Amino acid sequence: MVLISLLPIGLMQTCASVEHGMWYARSAEFLKQDIVQTFHWIRIIGDTIFAIGAFALGWFILGLKTGWSIKKEANSLNQSTENYDPEKDDTVLT
């Protein structure tokens, strides 16, 4: 998002500000140029990736808070250790 959209528009605004003044770089005339509008639309790619990541993180945290994402692992761990008998264990530790 930064490299595809924000940086190029910022550099274009910097050049316009140096050449014509800050008033022009922030004006609607500058922002309505075709190249600037194209960079605004390209920003959707980065925003979409960010939104998917934020949703996935929220889903993960919700699962941790409610406990539904870790119950299966905890139950399977308890079941596997309940039937463990150290006297019948024939593994050799070195």
Which residue ranges make up each domain of the chain?
2-81
- Residue 37 has which token pair? 């509008």
Q: What is the pLDDT of residues 29-55, one digit of tens each?
A: 999 999 999 998 998 988 999 999 999
Backbone region of residue 85 per phi and psi (left: phi > 0; alpha: psi in -120 to 50; beta: other values): beta
pLDDT at 3: 79
pLDDT at 92: 61
pLDDT at 4: 78
pLDDT at 2: 74
Q: What is the pLDDT of residues 60-91, one digit of tens each?
A: 999 888 887 666 555 555 555 566 666 666 66
pLDDT at 66: 87
Whole-number Å distance between alpha carbons of 29 and 93:
76
